[in-house]
Amino acid sequence: MVSGEGKVQSCILANGKRRISGERDGPLSLQRGPSDEPPFLLGNMVGTRGRLGSDSPLLLTRSSLALALAAVLARGVRSLQSLDGDASSVIENPAASGQSLSLDETAGVPGTKGEPGWLKGIPSVSHARRLVRLLAAVCAVALLGGLAVGVWFLVKLLLRPSFSHTPVGLGDIKETPFCNVTEDVSPSEPKKGSVFYRISPENSLLEIQLGKLPAWLPVCYERWNSSLGTLVCRQLGYLRLTKHKGVNLTDIGPNYTDGFVQITPEHNSNLENIWQLRGSCVTGKVIALQCFECGTRAKLPRIIGGVEATLGRWPWQVSLYYSNRHTCGGSIINSQWVVTAAHCVHNYRLPQVSSWVVYAGIVTRGSAKVAEHTGYAVEKIIYNKDYNHRSHDGDIALMKLRTPLNFSDTIRPVCLPQYDYDPPGGTQCWISGWGYTQPEGAHSPDTLKEAPVPIISTKRCNSSCMYNGEITSRMLCAGYTEGKVDACQGDSGGPLVCQDENVWRLVGVVSWGSGCAEPNHPGVYTKVAEFLGWIYDMIESY
């Protein structure tokens, strides 16, 4: 191929024919049939084997014909402007300028076995112009056809369910390729120097385990205050402290013989570094405390094998309505605050807050059923300022209700996770919501759906056969590699909860995923433990 102005190209077509084209703004071509067809006679051009001359027709070989056509086209489009009006694309006519189109006599021409040749002749300008117009029309039709196909593929892609996603218990299990990353199902070992907290279910005493010491030790009452109580409650995933007091050692019996933990005199550092071991308590008292109750539910029967939730089974689940339409899910964390996803609300500003209504204590959201309940107006919407709508990182938001919720068997808060809570792969958790029940369809059920999903380790979820490094440290994955159960459109902002120490904790917020219930693409959730500080700060500030 020769590049440049008036360039000549030769290509083999799919049907075995050859097309020789001189390009300007569109291809100018001549097609040759199979080798058994009669030779093409070019009129008004004569010559001998290596030269085109005066008055007799010339029997052209394949390459000679190509060169002849190049001369014809170069001469014929001499005065034509380019289709886009670019004067620089005009092909110069060799005869008009006194120049001839020649080949290097020492160079072989394909199809002539290396024999040199010369082209000379005056073609018809109208013939070349008609050929240009014909080829331009063909190219235009081909371009429009390609554009139509591209638009069709684009529309098909856009009509797929979006990334934000609801439990899908329907659909067949698909065979999936093997993912060469083993799942880590063993719990991770605690870090050295870590401090662990718990509240004894027997007597409400605060107990602490320091480092790798096996014993759980009570905390002396000296230097204790309510602020420390709030910090400890939040460390345990409870929103606030509700009650604390000193209990006499004589009242708790001889159960604690391994020592005690006391607050250091200089306890201005973080909570982990303020404790020290003691053999006894000076005041003879230890701390008992109660934190905000959450993560519990009334003892209600469960539908065996069903995917529809019963009333009160997930009492923290709410439906977020925008302009009288279910838009997202959310989770109650106290009487005035709901956790949801940032992508549900970040496009809405203050004038539109009044269009949001929160419905709690329902499992059926049909118009008649919803009308029976009073929706809770939203006073304030706060989404995480670090939310990235492209990577979905930081996809978490808070809604403050104008009036507090009245807790009951069907309306209760969920607990938050403990700090640095990282459930190991294989941990069984649950999702719930009113989102799509079919990946391709837009059917959203009236009744709340639920489904169990196992946690998938970040290492595995970031493997090349899943999300290939897209999962950040502030996300977690849950679902099945075969794609049989997943969250989908309409569940966004809803809860991923895991049971821990007899309470349910909000481990994740439904965020995104590749389609819905697709093999090797489990649901991706915002990791709530990474945003505990932000949640507590927002609640205290507003």
CATH code, domain carrying 433: 2.40.10.10
- 156: in domain: no
> Residue 182 carries which side chain, given as an amino acid letter?
T
pLDDT at 447: 86
- 2: in domain: no
Residue 123 neighbours by CB under 8 Å, 6+ apart: 71, 72, 73, 75, 76
Q: Which candidate in 395, 422, 491, 500 is catalytic?
A: 395
CA-based torsion, 510, 320, 164, 400: positive or negative: negative
pLDDT at 27: 36
Domain total in the chain: 3
- 175: in domain: no
Tokens of 42: 């070019």
- 298: in domain: no
Q: Which of 109, 138, 167 is the last residue of a domain?
A: 138
Residue that the structure tokens 């403050």 belong to: 400
pLDDT at 211: 79
Around 37, how many Cα atoms within 13 Å sit in the side-chain half-sphere?
A: 11
CA-based torsion, 481, 502, 293, 372: positive or negative: positive
Q: Which candidate in 165, 244, 343, 392 is catalytic?
A: 343
Around 211, how many Cα atoms within 13 Å sit in the side-chain half-sphere?
A: 9
CA–CA distance, 270 with 387 (Å, rounded to integer)? 27
Q: Which of 246, 274, 291 is the last residue of a domain?
A: 291
- 339: in domain: yes
Q: Are 435 and 487 in contact (CB under 8 A)?
A: yes
Expressed as residue numbers, the domain containing 523 is: 317-541
DSSP 525: E
pLDDT at 309: 82
pLDDT at 436: 66
- 303: in domain: no
pLDDT at 290: 93
- 151: in domain: no
Residues 236, 329 within the same domain: no
Q: Which of 273, 291, 309 is the last residue of a domain?
A: 291
CA–CA distance, 435 with 324 (Å, rounded to integer)? 16
460-491: b or e for each residue (b if 16 or more CB lie within 10 Å)?
A: bbbbebbbeeebbebbbbbbbbebbbbbbbbb
- Give ∠ CA 298-300-304 in degrees, rounded to 5: 145
Residues 492, 373 within the same domain: yes
- 42: in domain: yes
Bridge partner residues of 21 (DSSP): 9, 29
Residues 354, 475 within the same domain: yes
Tokens of 237: 């995933």
Residues 213, 124 within the same domain: no
Residues 371, 509 within the same domain: yes
Residues 131, 266 within the same domain: no
86 annotated active-site: no
pLDDT at 73: 45
492 annotated active-site: yes
Residues 245, 201 within the same domain: yes
Residues of the chain below pLDDT 50? 1-66, 68-70, 72-74, 76-122, 155, 157-178, 183, 185-192, 302-306, 368
Residues 429-467 pLDDT 10s: 999 998 766 555 556 678 898 999 999 999 999 999 899
Residues 282, 334 within the same domain: no
First to last CA, the chain: 71
Q: Indicate the pTM of the whole model.
A: 0.63
pLDDT at 181: 53
Give me the CATH number covering residue 222: 3.10.250.10
Q: Which candidate in 63, 319, 432, 492 is catalytic?
A: 492
pLDDT at 398: 98
Residues 402, 342 within the same domain: yes
343 annotated active-site: yes
Residues 258, 373 within the same domain: no
Residues 278, 338 within the same domain: no
Residues 273, 326 within the same domain: no
Number of Cβ within 10 Å of residue 216's Cβ equals 18
